[in-house]
Amino acid sequence: MLVKTKAIVKQNKKETPSVHSLVLELEEKIDFKAGQYVMINVPEGDKILKRAYSIVSSPSKTDIELCIKIVDEGVASKYLCGLKQGDEMDLMGPMGVFILSEPLEDSVVFLASGVGVAPFRSMINYLFEQGFEGKIILFLGARTHDELIYKKEFEELALKHENFKFIPVVSREKCGEKQGHVQDVCEKYIKDLKNPGFYVCGLKNMVDETVEFLKNKGFSNIHYERYN
């Protein structure tokens, strides 16, 4: 059910130089599925801007957490990333159909670039809470090491869960991570998976190229979402 509610900022966390996570306490609870998003009202003078942001927390949590990337010309993103504890906003949700399949595949592969990882953080934590025992692989692409969102958290999850593999990939920096783009490095990890489901999220070009790559390799169970 679509809910309109007020939200109070409990925490504003800087995840990378250009990405913040906002933890929000809701006046009225939103029952959402992992992968869905909310629409936020952002004031701009005498106007109200409406912006969609993915929920990155698990549906089991009372508070919700959003992932916000600062955009150079983005009035809404700069406003939201500047909010402090106790600030309020109006939002509406849940929205979106980019959710986990039912029934779920035997193994799950997430391929993301940048803030495209936002819905996957919610999905991955939800899968662990549900006791999912199949293989889970997350490929996360970014331009540089510093832009890998939630990197430390995913590394800790990989140490905790034997069925989870985290593969960070960077495209514009030589460091300890794999080089290139997610679609360039994923093949050897996915070729022997049993009944895999693929979930792809990121900018249009990345999503289109990755989906085409997977289809050319004979995979058909592909779910994807593009963002601008």
Q: 53 in a domain, yes or no?
A: yes
pTM for this one? Answer: 0.94
Checking if the pLDDT of 74 tops 90, the result is no
Q: 101 in a domain, yes or no?
A: no
Model confidence band, residue 176 (pLDDT cutoffs 50, 70, 90): low
Query: Same domain for 85 and 23?
Result: yes
Checking if the pLDDT of 174 tops 80, the result is no
CATH number of the domain within which 68 lies? 2.40.30.10
How confident is the model at residue 188, as a pLDDT? 87
Q: Tokens in use for 75?
A: 């009035």
d(CA 70, CA 20): 8
* Host domain of residue 197: 107-227
d(CA 52, CA 117): 15
* Residue 113: its H or E element: strand 107-113
> pLDDT tens digits, residue range 40-59?
999 998 999 999 999 999 99
Model confidence band, residue 173 (pLDDT cutoffs 50, 70, 90): low
> pLDDT tens digits, residue range 79-116?
999 999 999 999 999 999 999 998 889 999 999 999 99
Measured between alpha carbons, how far apart are the two ends of the chain, in Å? 26
How many Cα neighbours within 13 Å face the side chain of 125?
20
